[in-house]
Structure 1
Amino acid sequence: MLTKIQALGQTLGFSQIAVAPLDLSSAEPHLQNWLSQNFHGSMDYMARHGMKRARPAELVPGTLSVLTARMNYLPRDTAEGWQEAEWLRLRNPAEAVVSVYARGRDYHKVLRNRLDTLAQQIDALLADALKPHGFEYRAFTDSAPVLEAELATRSGQGWRGKHSLVLNREAGSMFFLGEIFLNVALPASEPITAHCGECTACIDVCPTRAIIAPGLVDARRCISYLTIEHDGSIDEALRPLMGNHIYGCDDCQLICPWNKFAQASSLPDFDVRSGLVGQDMARLLAWSETEFLRYTEGSPIRRIGHVRWLRNLAVAAGNALRHVDEAAIDRAELRQALQACLSHPSEVVREHVHWALAR
């Protein structure tokens, strides 16, 4: 049965389909410890459902098994040496860098639609076997209190790297995860062993030292958290460490040796959108809220809103102005773009712009 489901998943663009066991009780102490140390920062939703995150059958009553799905997201035209190309972007102080996964269509929509389609196909496949009880399911992708990485690793999608992300020997970590909770009992897939060895590249490269121990991330220091999840003012001590990241951060993935095996997506959804790559900060700072909403329509970036967008750009611009290479940026243009934001109605934007200009 799983072989047939996997074949269906492949036609929908999924890289791998597997089945996770329901008993995640051994993951609860780590989750509780992480929450008790407030490593989740302002992400209150992480604690809101307590240990339900580790108890699929409590989260969705009637669940008998969980299908896990993996989908590659590198753009279709990704060339060999893409990691070095990304490092060059991060070394260019004038360029505003958006995380690779966010340069195309919003993955929440892509995965959710395809997970729903897969579930409907499974329903048709199992129709006779399920009579008279019927088929019930719920699909998730980064959208509910689900321990996605834990379910993925326990179902053999990969292992947890020291950066806490899931790693796969054939695909690195450049993929999205999704789940389908089913009221159908399927045998669990076999997990695989970890292959990080003594490597600490991801820990060593983190600009803000957010990976405080193998597999333990303090989100409050993570650039992805600071630019996306965190609302309000960013700690001044962390701002200089954020470089030119304006939405997310891929550093721990770019340095990972396993990502030389990362695979391009087969879907056009994750192709790079015009205006999100290779852009200088001055141009993006000049976007009005209307322009921001237009250019980010259907993108995951839209959810942070225009205020956080300008805040992030102000930090990146401040770091650029401090850059020692005078020829690398047009300082006058960047200062002018920042000064135009000094009258912004948001106190958060104004504060970060003042900080940037003072650099």
Structure 2
Amino acid sequence: MSKGFKADVNALDRASRRQLEHAVRVESHSRNLDSRTRGKVLGRGKFGKIIQDAVGPIIESMIGDMSKSMAKGHRSLGQGLEITRKNIADAEKAVENSFKKHHKSLKAEGLDLKPGQSVPDKKSLRNLYHRRVEERVDELDREGHGVGRHLNVTDQQLKDRLGTPSIQRRKLKDENGNWVLDENGDKVEVDELVRARHGYAQSEGKVDPLHGPDARSRLSPPDLYYDVDKGAPNRHKCDAHSTAFNDHESFMYADAYARSKIDPKRPGDQVFEFSPSDAYGPGGHAGRFRGFYIDPDEPMKGGEINYKESDFKGATIKAIYRPDGNGGHKLHTMFPQPAFKHNRSPDQGIPH
């Protein structure tokens, strides 16, 4: 190598350190983003394009300058390295200026950039992400009743949806099949719980969550018990478990997974039942759901309905889609469905 060659080692070291620190910052921010937002910031979408447009021409210039310098021989290599160091600084300045130029459009998207920032801070990104989740849930709310009955509901609404246990009077017989008589010779009658499917308590007077959390203060029977979608004289129906998603994010991702299974060529309703792990990935997801059922062994306790919390071990998610009239599908409803084998008692009469 020529004795005239002398690389600016300190300059290169400082430049490389800056690039490493920048890469670490970008990687740290990107870990906290969903894939769609990450794409927008780091290269896919208009925000990523800001960086691409700013840095692209300078990178091409760097390559050209280095090629020209290398073509002149080793004596010019130091000059080429110095040009590279300068171009790195120019690239950083270009990105900063480009972000300033796009500041208004970023503001419109809810991103608050400080001078010199190359990516939005974590708080801004999280605010944008949560806003996008809320917007998507609002869209799904307009498609059907999944959000109104299985997401934006209180625990009391879930309990009210189960209704009141149905009790019937039954004449009592002894073990030999003979009528049991009282002291006056009349047949003895007892109150007996009416059983529904799987041995759960059959109930009546169920309140549709779509009436709102203040339904009991605004409505009186029988209006209180009518289905909001179908109206009078249709009474609201609910299975043994009244369930809901715990948060909007879980609801949104469950819909995204189920929607990906829709066959656009198949007419009519499309129903999907899947494991929470299919939508959210491996691991336990019972904490994403909540729900109640009436204790089949002791439906009434102290004059009050005896509720039990649903166990979501082994639960599934059921989603129902209907044609939207425009060639696509809308979410009619979606709810977590507990496994009966984890919500039973030995006296319930459910087959093993």
Q: Same fold (TM over 0.5)?
A: no
In the superposition, the TM-score normalised over structure 1's length comes to: 0.22
Bigger strand fraction: 2
User: For the pair shown, which has the larger CA radius of gyration, 1 or 2?
Assistant: 2
In the superposition, the TM-score normalised over structure 2's length comes to: 0.22
